[in-house]
Chains A and B, each alone.
Chain A
Amino acid sequence: MKKITDFLRWTPWQVKLSMLVMGLGQLCYGQIMKGLFYLTSFGVILTYFIYRGFSDIIGFFTLGTREENLWLGIPGDNSLTMLILGLFAIFILIFAVVLYITNVKDAVFTARQLQAGKPIRKFRQTLQTAADEKFHMTALAAPVVGVTIFSILPIVFMILIAFTDLGGEVVYPKLANWSFAAWKKIMSLGKIGGTFVKILGWNILWAVVSTALNFVIGLGMALLLNKRNVKGSKFWRAFPVLAYAIPGFISMVGFKFMFSQSGPINYYLDEAGLMRIFFLTNDASAKWWARGIGLFVNAWITTPSIMLMTTGILSNINTDLYEAAALDGASGFAQFRKITLPFVIFSTTPVLISQFVGNFNNFGIFFFLRDGVISNYADYFLASDTDLLINWLYKLSVDNNYYSIGAAISLIIFVITAVLSLAVYVRSAAYKQEDTYQ
């Protein structure tokens, strides 16, 4: 408190003016351009808040007070729009506070310069400072604004949606409220909570198994095709690359047809006098068939890229290591376990983490393979027994407009993938021994 009193006692009247109206102090110091910039910004921001900013912030908290009657033509509020505009107004308010602080700091800086007997900085000098000693701030300004508008704002919006009752029957013109209902439904042992637990379990299993499977197959193919005694390795390498080059959804649609009830596999089973199998159909017996097919199709699409990546990494291993190991009597498997695997894992840990996150959120595989399947047999709520959280999220929010639950699940997915990725990364050799292979 004393510091503030001392500061206010010390501040010259120009600084006090800047504290009252942004830019006035700078103008009084003769910093015309800078002063006009702050003053114009102050004017624009003030006008914005007078005309709509304040009401938008109030709307953010109320989410609307008047319900529109479209039939009688009585205007009303739109909760979703009020949430977006309110959030935007809050961001503008934060920006205004930051700008105000820089304005005061700048006025104080100029006052201190004068007190120290130094000349007041001209606008050109300010620009030079921005391009030189404060270049880091200038360079980062545009990305920070971009990230705020295009990343942070939508993420915060999504987080906020999770704390409303928007969706289901509460859609425009009905008004929404702030609510924990979505979280209660997920955390409760009701239909949504039960389905969430089942899907989460399968989702984690899927992410771990598919990442491991893709890595093992990809590395295996790379090792195999790296062997000198494999003839025409370039030719063989072309086949997985072809699978990689074909758009993923084309492969998925192809596999869906192959495993469908009228597809060639069931046709030949039928011709051979065997029972047709429910591979992807909405039947309890199809659960593990469909999951297995999903893993297979995902491996088909992904392993070529792992193979190509590990082929590059393998070519970087110093062959002297193998010669030395062989001289020491190490077997082929021991050489793989002690030299190849640590080197490859060290180099690929960040990629494996991104693969894990990608697989955890792998929307396409089951969206294409089992479109329209809802496994009511096991009390899945608006989900199939092969759906991942991301597929369920889609069905809840896009197919059924259940936005708040969808947003809550998005947040949970984010937390799980972020925590697992970070935990794995900080424990990995790639993080702990960053300099080892440099």
Chain B
Amino acid sequence: MKKVLSILIAVSMLLVIVSGCSGEKPDSTAGNVSDLYEQVMARFDGKLEKGAVVKVLENDTAVELGYVDQLIAAFNEAFQDKGISAERMNIDQYSDLATDGPYGYGPDVWYQANDILMKYADNQHLLPLPVYSMECYEQIPESAWNAYATDMNGETFYCGIPLNVQSGMLYYIESMLPANWKTEWDVNSNGKPDFFETYTALYAYSEACKKGGQTTKYGYLDETVDTYFMSGYLMTYGGYIFGDNGTNASDIGLAAGESYKGARMIQQWAGQMNNTEILDNTFSSAAYQYLADGVMLCTVTTPDVSRMFIRSMVSTGKWTEEEAKADLKMITVPRLPVSADLTADKWQDTVMNMDTLTVETTMMGGINGYGISSYTKCPNASLAFVEFATSYEQAVLRNEYLGVAPARADAAAKIAEKDATVGILFDRLDRGYISIMPAITEIGQLWTPAESFLIDLSTDPYRAERGEERMYETDAEIQMGLERLVTQIRDAIETLS
């Protein structure tokens, strides 16, 4: 069954390559580029700067798990005879291109999430890249390219090369599933635990855990104040961050549609979890150990941290690395109820009538990729490094080291043969259930007001217990809270502009 699914996903990946990837993108044929494009790309003349050492700033996890050393060693070996090489920079070294770049500091090549990279593109601190002539161009879907698109005189340029897709995935350890899940928690007999199919069932299972007698203390435990993961609840019911596909900061849509329904469920979860640790942003780093120790059955986080879970599992002494890899599962997040109430429907009904009682959950996501600093002294060597690092071979290797889902369709198809998760993530991106984080500067003003709102929302269940007045008892109050949040974000954007 699994093999058939993997083959189907692989075939769909190939279809994406043939259709979606090349359909809407700008014409990349050599004769059709504008004068402006030629002027901007003039520095990429293909002449490698002899003796250049490309400084690369990568993310901590990739460094820690040895991928970056491998990448740099492979690049240095491949380009030994061309007289260029690469070296790794420490993450804390001059990572602000706007303030350090003009004075000659900072990386030549920088790996980051699209929202962080693109805030530097606004003021031209990142170079537009000659993407049409790059080998990876046809392999990457348009939605991923759009995360790096920016305009100059009405013409679109791309300031980054998408490398992998990030979005929330549900993690659990297979051996910690309740022994009776096949008889008690698989009412639709599809071979999947029901509590991983709908959030209503997961809520019911979490309630069962609370009563005791299950394999873990908690069912689902998560940081309910994390905007990145929790915004999915709002988006599923019509909310969005910025209008016009995340490019119009004057249209803030967190209170749009019926997003209050999503917020109501975040509040339900906070009350159900009844653990104040989830209100602290240190929870995310503690989550690896909690899952390994059996404190909770599942949590939601990004695919790139799967190795951190494996490491925590191995540290308990109960698993070897190979066993941990096999036992740790990463699946797509469950579906949310149409009623937007985790207790309104019978959980069995939501599983049996998924199409009518539930909707697919939209999650916020990001496209991590490489950008090249405008202050680099070696643009051609830097581009050579980026081309090397975004090649099919390196995309596959990156997945092997870090478990991340590549943005390249060919690499995703290859990996999907063994790991269906990557295919699912790619498929969700293609179907629009991953809402790419806006890449405009104003996104910086989202996080703190949104976190404050989520804290207020998540602490609300405790207020009654403490004899304090509740802030968000009714849907109208939640809607007002969301509208206040929108005002705060707008104020912050306008005050700083």
Contacts and interface: CB of A to CB of B under 8 A. Distances in A.
Interface of A: 69-73, 78, 168-169, 171-174, 185, 190-192, 260-262, 266, 275-276, 278, 281-285, 372, 374-377, 379, 381-382, 400-402
A172 B282 contact: no
A71 B123 contact: no
- Which 10 residue pairs are nearest across A and B when measured between Cβ atoms? A376-B452, A374-B448, A70-B124, A70-B374, A261-B276, A261-B280, A276-B276, A168-B496, A376-B449, A262-B277
A192 to B, nearest CB: 6
Contact of A283 (B123, B455, B496): B455
A283 B491 CA distance: 21
10 contacts: A71-B127, A173-B102, A191-B492, A261-B279, A262-B286, A278-B279, A281-B455, A282-B452, A283-B279, A285-B468
Contacts of A377: 452, 456
Interface centre among B441, B449, B455 (most CB of A within 10 A): B455
B123 A278 contact: no
A172 B374 contact: no
Contacts of B280: 260-262, 281
Contacts of A285: 459, 466, 468
A283 B497 contact: no
A211 to B, nearest CB: 31
Contact of B452 (A172, A191, A374): A374
Nearest to B489: A376
Given A262-B286, A281-B276, A283-B459, A168 B497 contact: yes
A169 B497 contact: yes
Contacts of A69: 124
A97 B492 CA distance: 47
Nearest to A378: B452
B108 interface: no
Contacts of B375: 70
Contacts, number: 99
User: Which secondary structure characterizes the binding site on chain B?
Assistant: helix
A71 B124 contact: yes
> Interface size class for chain B?
35 or more
A275 B374 contact: no
A138 B488 CA distance: 59
Interface in B123-156: 123-125, 127-128, 152
A174 B282 contact: no
Contacts of A174: 123
Interface string B282-317: 100010000000000000000000000000000000
A270 to B, nearest CB: 9
Contacts of B123: 171-174
Contacts of B496: 168-169, 400, 402
A382 B449 CA distance: 9
Contact of A376 (B40, B128, B374, B448): B448
A168 B225 CA distance: 27
B42 A282 contact: no
B491 A191 contact: yes
A73 B452 contact: no
B459 A173 contact: no
Interface centre among A70, A382, A401 (most CB of B within 10 A): A70
A190 B495 contact: yes
Contacts of A192: 495
Nearest to B450: A376
B42 A262 contact: no
A375 B127 CA distance: 37
B441 A382 contact: no
Contacts of B102: 78, 172-173
B281 interface: yes
B124 A173 contact: yes
Nearest to B488: A376
B318 interface: no
B128 A71 contact: yes
Nearest to A402: B496
Given A169-B496, A381-B492, A278 B459 contact: yes
A275 B441 CA distance: 41
A266 B456 CA distance: 20
Contacts of B39: 72
Interface string B426-447: 0000000000000001001000
A266 B282 CA distance: 15
Contacts of B488: 376, 379
A171 B453 contact: no
B98 A401 contact: yes
A191 B449 CA distance: 14
Contacts of A261: 276-277, 279-280, 282
A105 to B, nearest CB: 42
Nearest to B465: A275
Contacts of B277: 261-262
B189 interface: no
B453 A376 contact: yes
Given A70-B374, A71-B127, A281-B280, 15 more contacts: A169-B497, A171-B99, A172-B123, A173-B124, A191-B492, A266-B276, A275-B466, A282-B225, A283-B459, A285-B468, A377-B452, A379-B488, A400-B496, A401-B99, A402-B496
B319 interface: no
